[in-house]
Structure 1
């Protein structure tokens, strides 16, 4: 995090794949710690591409990105994993490890971070209970429904209390009641200081998180209906 409280800053960032036209153009914005952001836009607007930049899966074609006070563009590749561990990601396609149980998929970030095995059971069981999967703890992904896989993916993303959570359509495969429960989980993390960025096409969700800020993508460019791109940081409690 920088001295002035910024967690991420994009400066005139553009992204193109191969020789195609830019899919993202002239993105300049700041994300602050402890804020809850919704990223919206029509299909094809560039939401997933922007998320890939945010969790360091993609380098921009131009511009500058600073994350947690570090120049993410010039950072040596060997230091990228440590930076990525500060970011929890909920992928649209889940990306669960097929040969691992729900428990072991969720425990994976803690193991990578070096937590002792004796310290895993409590937190992992608690988070799986929270997402309604206490009775599926030993199940492998192939035996889970799409909605259950989504919930395991969300549990895995939040188990290590990341500094930033990035979620790509996290409620797309669950029923409305579970969708609201998952949003409450994101809100709880947010109140504890985690910056949350949720990409969604579900406009009803935007009204259910009162203090959220909205970033709207239209053909690769951002608009700012709630002041998200310039909003000052709030004091965390």
Structure 2
């Protein structure tokens, strides 16, 4: 395995249990490399969502080591965690849109938090809403949007600030196949700009839609890598030609 200097995330012998229950993740070790695209697969209950929670720092492991951006996040002070999280975009399975904000304002939220002026954020927000097919719903609040529309707003919000890592939990679960492919193309475009993308999905058909992707498979809390994603960095010269 390559050293931390060539990685963006490293897990080493990570375990996770909730309370006194048995571990939901056991001895999970892997390395994520900058600018790579990963699919995380596995049956329902395999631990995909729990692993993603560790990746976007919503949960601390019960044991093991996690380093991100070259720093140990387990021993980092709590006040340092928000800075780490700002570098990570998250598409939640339950969307987590702010209910009193419009679609436009939900998507604009990360840019406002980063300090971007209203004049500068208008174009990227409107362009992003157009890309996900919601230019006609900019003023709609989440309660008036369908599940698929809420999902698209959540994705637009997650990618608008071009995060260094994008973590997506079943991001195409509430949209039709045509929109699912379009959203994957959005993730690919972000990936080509340098973002490391991790998409959790149970839909095996999606795995063929991104030919340059790597696959990590969870089975009862343990991780395997049928494409060698855990052992080797992707071949950058091949990605450059793709």
**Could you state the TM-score of these two structures normalised by the residue count of structure 2?**
0.95
Alignment of 1:21-100 (within 5 A): 21-100=22-101
1:15 alignment counterpart: 16
Gaps of 5+ in 2: none
Q: Equivalents in 2 of 1:101, 1:11: separation in Å? A: 41
Question: Number of matched residues?
Answer: 236
Deviation of 1:4 after TM superposition, in Å, equals 2.8
* Alpha-carbon distance, 1:3 to partner: 6.1
2: CA distance between counterparts of 1:59 and 1:80? 11
Partner of 2:136: 135
State how far apart, in whole Å, the 2-side matches of 1:209 and 1:134 are.
Answer: 26
Please give the alpha-carbon distance, in whole angstroms, between the structure 2 residues aligned to 1:64 and 1:188. Answer: 31
For each residue in 1:39-83, what CA deviation from the matched residue of structure 2 results, as whole angstroms up to 9, or x when unmatched?
000000000000000000000000000000111001111111110
Unaligned runs of 5+ in 1: none
Deviations 1:4-24 (A, max 9, x none): 320000010000000000000
CA distance in 2, matches of 1:154, 1:229: 26
Match of 1:171 in 2: 172
CA distance in 1: counterparts of 2:100 and 2:225, whole angstroms: 43
| Runs of 4 or more consecutive aligned structure 1 residues displaced over 2 Å after TM superposition | 233-237
Paired residue for 2:208?
Answer: 207
Give the 3-state SS of the residue equivalent to 1:4 in structure 2.
Answer: helix
Tell me what 2:126 maps to.
Answer: 125
Paired residue secondary structure (1:120): helix
Counterpart of 1:159?
160
